[in-house]
Copies of this chain bind each other. A is one copy, B any other.
Amino acid sequence: MNVRSNKKHRVFETTLKLIAEHGLHNTPMSLVSKRSGISTGAIYHHFESKEVLINELYLFVKQEIMNNIFDDVTAELNYKESFHKIWSNYFHYLIKNQDILSFVEQCSISPIIKEQTRMEAQKLAIPLIDFITEGTQKNFLINNEIELILAIINGNVITVAKLHISKLLPINKEIENKAIQTSWKGLSQ
């Protein structure tokens, strides 16, 4: 990463942390500047506006998630095992990166994320869509619309991660496995 993207990266990290801590509604640019050690002017050199920063950050974290969920999903695993691995990777990524979970959820339906951004974010999910498509074609998964299956898996992972974070039900390996079983049982043939 060069100096330029390094700076963007620092702004991303700081913004993520602050929004998780103070909320989307309560994170001034001045605080992002102070905490990141980058002047407001420099931030605005990299991002046209706060809205653009948030939207770019949204795409960035969506990409980061995708970069992590296929870890150790090798050719040796069968479909069910791969499903299990991806679900688990995704889940552990979220609970290790609670700022990201918090940010993505605050944005999930907020008008701050523009239609264009949501469309681009959808494109980032293509590897996951391919995986699901494969599952339906080979009759591992029920023959539902791909978007529905994707949404349900995504929703399940996030739901369980939020449950863990809320401390209402700390998720240990056993409960995690139950949750994955529930997802798989609902969606498999």
Contact = CB atoms under 8 A, between A and B. Distances in A.
Specify the main secondary structure of chain A where it touches its partner: helix
A97 B162 CA distance: 24
Chain A, interface size category, equals: 35 or more
Contacts of A156: 152, 155-156
A52 interface: no
- Taken together, the copies of this chain in the complex come to 4
Contacts of A182: 142, 144, 152, 186-187
A70 B49 CA distance: 46
Interface of A: 20-26, 101-102, 105-106, 108-112, 118, 122, 142, 144-145, 147-148, 151-152, 154-156, 158-160, 162-163, 165-166, 168-169, 175, 178-179, 182-187
14 contacts: A20-B111, A23-B25, A24-B110, A25-B25, A26-B112, A106-B109, A142-B182, A144-B175, A147-B163, A147-B169, A151-B168, A155-B155, A185-B186, A186-B187
